[in-house]
Amino acid sequence: HLCLYISQSTFAISSFRFMATNDLMMELQKDSIKLDEDSEKKVVKMLLKLLEDKNGEVQNLAVKCLGPLVGKVKEYQVETIVDTLCTNMLSDKEQLRDISSIGLKTVISELPPASTGSAMTANVCKKITAQLTGAIGKQEDVSVQLEALDILSDMLSRLGGTLYSFHSSILNCLLPQLTSPRLAVRKRAIIALGHLVLTCSGNIFSELTEHLLAELKRNESTSTTRTYIQCVAGISRQAGHRIGEHLEKIIPLIVRYCNVEDDELREYCFQAFESFVRRIFVCRDRCPKEIDPHIPNVMELCLKYITFDPNYNYDNEEEEEEEMMETENREDEEQESDDEYSDDDDISWKVRRSAAKCLEAIVSSRHDLLQDFYKTLSPVLISRFKEREENVRADIFSAYISLLKQTLPIQSWLHASDASGKDDVPRTMLQKQVPNIVKALHKQLKEKSIKSRQGCFSLLTELANVLPGCLADHIPALVPGIVFSLADKSSSSNMRIDTLSFLHVLLCNHQPEVFHPHIKSLLPPVVTCIGDPFYKITSEALLVTQQLVKVIRPLDKSCTFDAKPYVKDLFPGTLKRLKAADIDQEVKERAISCMGQIICNLGDHLSTDLQPTLKIFLERLKNEITRLTTVKVLTLIASSPLKINLRPILGEGFPILASFLRKNQRALKLSTLTALDILVKNYSDSLQPAMIESVLTELPALITENDMHVSQVAIMFLTTLAKVYPSCISKISGSVLAEIFQLVHSPLLQGGALNAIIDFFQALVLTKTATMGYSELMKQLTAPIYSSGSAEASVMLHKQAYYSVAKCVAALSSACPKEVPAIVNQFIQDVKNPKSSSAVKVLAFLSLAEMGRTMNLSAQRELKTVILEAFGSPSEEVKSAASYALGNISVGNLKEYLPFMLKEIGSQPKRQYLLLHSLKEVISSSPANGLKPYVEDIWALLFKHCECTEEGTRNVVAECLGKLTLVNPSELLPRLKKQLSSGSPHARSTVVTAIKFTIADQPQPIDALLKGCIGDFLKTLQDPDLNVRRVALAMFNSAAHNKPSLIRDLLNAVLPSLYNETNVRRELIREVEMGPFKHTVDDGLDVRKAAFECMYTLLESCLDRLDIYEYLNHVEDGLKDHYDIRMLTFIMLARLSTLCPSAVLQRLERLIEPLRATCSTKVKAGSVKQEFEKQDELKRSAMRAVAALLTIPEVEKSPAMAEFSSQIRSNPEMASLFESIQKDSASLPTSESMDMS
């Protein structure tokens, strides 16, 4: 009906046509609408007619209707629409041309992507492309050309892969446009080429670069050369990973053009350099080897041209820019220029700006050149802080800030242990340059230009973060600038906020004393900012004030500075904000924190103001929004050494705190427990028993294995109560203890929570409460294990629970030494009793072990025989527990037990393995001084056993050797090294494994020695024996994971051996006959697996030292290897997609093939269940890698990926697998990672 209505609208009233078209659009947007063939024709015909309507609004609506229509009509109708629009685009009427080009863009944006497998998109695109390339080629009307180029860019960026067959003709059509007389046409042609290079084939890319190179060499005119350089930069920005191989030819040409006297050309040259450095860099902090050789050259040019200002004389500076004279900039001289030369003609600033941007790109991608940067680049940048052009100065600041960011010490567990001197050299160099930086900046802090001042503060903030304390000597120079920016009426809000945040960093990173002379001038403007109407300024000012309070009167050291005069400035402004209820939440919270700090540090100067303020805190405690902050502040005040009188608010406050323990907010529970703990410790005299009971009733619910941290803090609070209020302990209801015992028997208990329980039991037994004495607690602890010896009851406990119970038993015994002989005796009887279950024996041995470690049990004569007898027990658990016991009892009495143990190891070959485990416990747990007299004997004994044929025994010997080496590394490490030349492969493998046990993730005295000789141990990666190579890889992996600094500098030598081990060795594959079947066994699989695990670890710890393309070659091979290796390489590929996306993009075609092969494998029909499961897991892992690849920006532009995606969507099995993977990854908070340590 609508069509009919509109078609009859030859009627003149345009508003009717407008309404009718609007209704049509509403209808088309509904999913439910279905058009038959006749209606389709009518609607299409009608809309195309309306596009020529005289009324502009009707035209606009008609264009909007095209979008939803594309998805509703058949393909040939879309083609009709496109044909008409393309014809209209060539029309003489400007309005019709414009509306048609908008129409085409609308149609293109609505076409289904190629990955859905729709043929329509391809056909329509081909139609449009043919018409557009014709229109662009004609060069008759520039505006037609511009529109056509615009639409072509749109289409290439969205559907480039679909136009595969047209790429060559598009290229031939675009290249001539680079010489168009109109700059706008050239610009759009460059944009279109940028989109083309993302999806075109290698041949077309090469054709394009060859053309550009040839034109650059010809250098017909400066104008076209500029365009070609812009084009090279444009391509590099869009598809930098492809231009790498052509850089060798491109860069020398661009370097040549830098020296041509044309400022615009120079600007484009530097922009091209910047795009190469930024776009081609492969990993997080490294640009690739293709540009490596050119970096010094490019940097030299940047440094030359960053000072290029031929038309301006900086203070009669000497003509040569290379001599950096430290001079101040007087701006008045600018006006002295001659009449015929105006500043508007001077575009040299563009050259300086592009050089600064290029330097920033180099700095942020080359962490490894940091020392060179501080030598050559830093002084030049500092000397250019006086730059007269504001925009250029901002970029120079930005480049220097990048340099400072690169200098920040890396905060991560990986590098924490790598506190090597190497990172300190750049920081020392920077330290020496700080006076120059301050000298160059401090005058600018008072300039009119807000942008300059903000740049200065950003730079100084970064500097104070990189080198805390470095500005201590320069505070007098900086304070006037800070005060000026805070008090200046013309300062914008952002200016004030930046100044305050710099002041905050400055106060946090420097000693309080350096500010004391300046408090008088700093405090008033900051306090004024607290009263500022803009909440962000108030919030930042409160943060600064809080830090200022700590500076005025530091509590952690004695200080002569008199804080009293400043209290009257600080207190009223903060109080006003604290009282206000109708302000931003952040301001409320910071006002509470700031006032808390004032009371904590200056409470003794507040006299009568203190109590009313504490009453306000009580109000804030009752408010749901501010309660968490208030609890933290009360904790702060309660722990103040000034002993602030909180008693008046405790009566009302304590029950409120108790009620918070019931709330569902975890942070609130934890903070409340901490607050209660401090209050009980410091205000015990003013707490009533009823108050404490109100808290006690809330505690049982908090002690649960579901949240170990909350449980730990709650138990620590109970311990405080047991020490401070022994009387209230009798009120500890059975339910609290029941929960604690349940926790002890939980398999999840370890670390902090276990230690908290041990402390609690020790405090509890010392309160001498009737129902909670030693024997009562012991009974409840061990009840589940002893319970009538029935199998069911003891089966329930996890192995970890036995260790927890044993530790608690030992703790109770050490608190009650009188009970020890009896309980030890009882355990010995338990072990001797043939009727005892193995669970009881395990507990007895573990408890003896825990007690023996800290007490001398030599009074018990039977112990040795009992333990040695247990070594013959049929139960593996009992044997292991007895071995653990012998080791730990020896720790408590080395003199008696260690010689005995060594004698037994020598004379009892059958028990050797268990005895060696005991020895391992001794070495791990004994203090180094105690062990020293026995080192020689142990060393000799271990070397007797290092050639044992049993691998398990060899591993224990290796662990003992490694841990023993830590006792006296300077002497023992060289001895281990000597053993590397041993003839026996078993001995060599033991020695290499021993080294693995000397590497820990914490800093140790052995580190420096290890660094010197780990290279010798890594040479075993080339050992002729397969097993030695495998353990060498395990040791290398451990070093890369726990202490990368040991191996970072050796990677160039080690990587070839590592990569060599990833290859399949045909000679190690053999056939084994199993009855009628033949089965292949690959003896090299374990070594290959170990090598790939090392490669994965290197990704996390030494990525910047890897040649990622070489690395990818081996990943590629691994994708076609055995099941285990493929599983590993899929995970590696997923990780690489995040870390080095552009390198992966370059290799995409080769990487996708093995993934496709895995995903489309079919298992033979008669296979066993395990085979199906294995294949299923492999497919899932491959699909995870595919999902990770799809997260790389621009990956969908790759034809290979687009084809694979459509294959996945069209195959129901693959599609459902892909969907389930995406659901899984959406629910996971972090990317997949695996720990190979």
What are 286's strand-pairing partners?
A: 283, 366
Query: Considering only 353-357, 733-737, 805-809, which range has the smallest mean pLDDT?
Result: 733-737
pLDDT surpasses 80 at 346:
no
Q: Is 643 left (phi over 0), alpha (psi -120 to 50) or beta?
A: left
CA distance 191 to 55: 33
pLDDT surpasses 80 at 1047:
yes
pLDDT (0 to 100) of residue 1084: 86
**Residues 492 and 451 sit within 8 Å (Cβ to Cβ):** no
CA distance 604 to 234: 67
Residue 944: CB partners within 8 Å, gap ≥ 6?
906
Of 432, 480, 425, 423, which is closest to residue 456 (Cα–Cα)?
A: 480
> Is the four-CA dihedral 1153, 1154, 1159, 1161 of positive or negative sign?
positive
CA distance 119 to 1030: 53
pLDDT (0 to 100) of residue 420: 46
At 369 the three-state DSSP class reads helix
pLDDT surpasses 50 at 24:
yes
Per mean pLDDT, which of 143-152, 172-181, 354-363, 1065-1074 is the most reliable? 354-363
pLDDT (0 to 100) of residue 951: 82
Sequence-ordered alpha helix ranges (H) in 181-259: 183-199, 202-218, 222-243, 247-258
Q: Which residue has the higher pLDDT, 972 or 1234?
A: 972
The pTM of this model reads: 0.78
Query: Considering only 34-48, 270-284, 464-478, 507-521, which range has the smallest mean pLDDT?
Result: 270-284
pLDDT surpasses 80 at 852:
yes
**Residues 856 and 893 sit within 8 Å (Cβ to Cβ):** yes
pLDDT surpasses 70 at 675:
yes
pLDDT (0 to 100) of residue 1202: 77
CA distance 245 to 202: 12
Kindly indicate the confidence band of residue 991, based on its pLDDT and cuts at 50, 70 and 90: confident
**Residues 141 and 177 sit within 8 Å (Cβ to Cβ):** no
**Residues 1219 and 220 sit within 8 Å (Cβ to Cβ):** no
pLDDT surpasses 50 at 142:
yes
Q: Which residue has 């944009």 as its token pair?
A: 191
- Residue 317: count of CB within 10 angstroms of its CB: 18
pLDDT (0 to 100) of residue 332: 39
List pLDDT tens digits, range 716-740.
998 998 888 887 777 776 778 888 8
Sequence-ordered alpha helix ranges (H) in 799-859: 799-815, 820-832, 838-854
The terminus-to-terminus CA distance of the chain in angstroms comes to: 73
pLDDT surpasses 80 at 216:
yes
Instruction: Give the mean pLDDT of 311-337.
Output: 44
Residues listed for the chain: 1237
pLDDT surpasses 80 at 1138:
yes
For residues 744-783, one letter each, b for 16 or more C-beta atoms within 10 angstroms of the residue's C-beta and e for the rest, the string is bbbeebeeebbebbbbbbbbbbebebeebbbeebbeebbe
Kindly indicate the confidence band of residue 1130, based on its pLDDT and cuts at 50, 70 and 90: very high
**Residues 1118 and 1092 sit within 8 Å (Cβ to Cβ):** yes
List pLDDT tens digits, range 1009-1025.
878 888 888 788 888 88
CA distance 524 to 482: 12
Q: Which residue has the higher pLDDT, 159 or 655?
A: 655
Sequence-ordered alpha helix ranges (H) in 1102-1162: 1108-1118, 1123-1139, 1141-1146, 1148-1159
CA distance 765 to 375: 66
C-alpha angle 85/87/88, rounded to 5°? 65
Instruction: Give the mean pLDDT of 509-529.
Output: 91
CA distance 493 to 498: 9
pLDDT (0 to 100) of residue 1092: 93
pLDDT (0 to 100) of residue 328: 37
- Residue 1078: count of CB within 10 angstroms of its CB: 9
> Of all residues in the chain, what percent carry a pLDDT higher than 70?
91
C-alpha dihedral, 226 to 228 to 234 to 238, nearest 10°: -170
For residues 828-841, one letter each, b for 16 or more C-beta atoms within 10 angstroms of the residue's C-beta and e for the rest, the string is bebbeeeebbbbbb
pLDDT (0 to 100) of residue 499: 94
Q: What is the DSSP string of 643-699?
A: ----HHHHHHHHHHHHHHTTSS-HHHHHHHHHHHHHHHHH-GGG--HHHHHHHHTTS
pLDDT (0 to 100) of residue 1230: 44
Pairing of β 1069-1074 and β 1077-1082? antiparallel
Query: Considering only 237-241, 445-449, 455-459, which range has the smallest mean pLDDT?
Result: 237-241
pLDDT (0 to 100) of residue 768: 73
**Residues 1030 and 1086 sit within 8 Å (Cβ to Cβ):** yes
C-alpha dihedral, 85 to 88 to 94 to 96, nearest 10°: -60
CA distance 367 to 917: 46
**Residues 698 and 717 sit within 8 Å (Cβ to Cβ):** no
List pLDDT tens digits, range 1172-1206.
888 888 888 989 999 898 888 777 767 778 778 87
Cα distances (Å, whole numbers) of residue 649 to 575, 655, 698: 18, 11, 21
pLDDT (0 to 100) of residue 980: 79
Stated as kind and residue range, the H or E segment containing 499 is helix 493-509
pLDDT (0 to 100) of residue 1050: 86
pLDDT surpasses 90 at 1107:
no
List pLDDT tens digits, range 608-636.
888 899 899 999 999 998 999 999 999 99
List pLDDT tens digits, range 27-40.
777 766 677 777 77
CA distance 1019 to 1029: 9
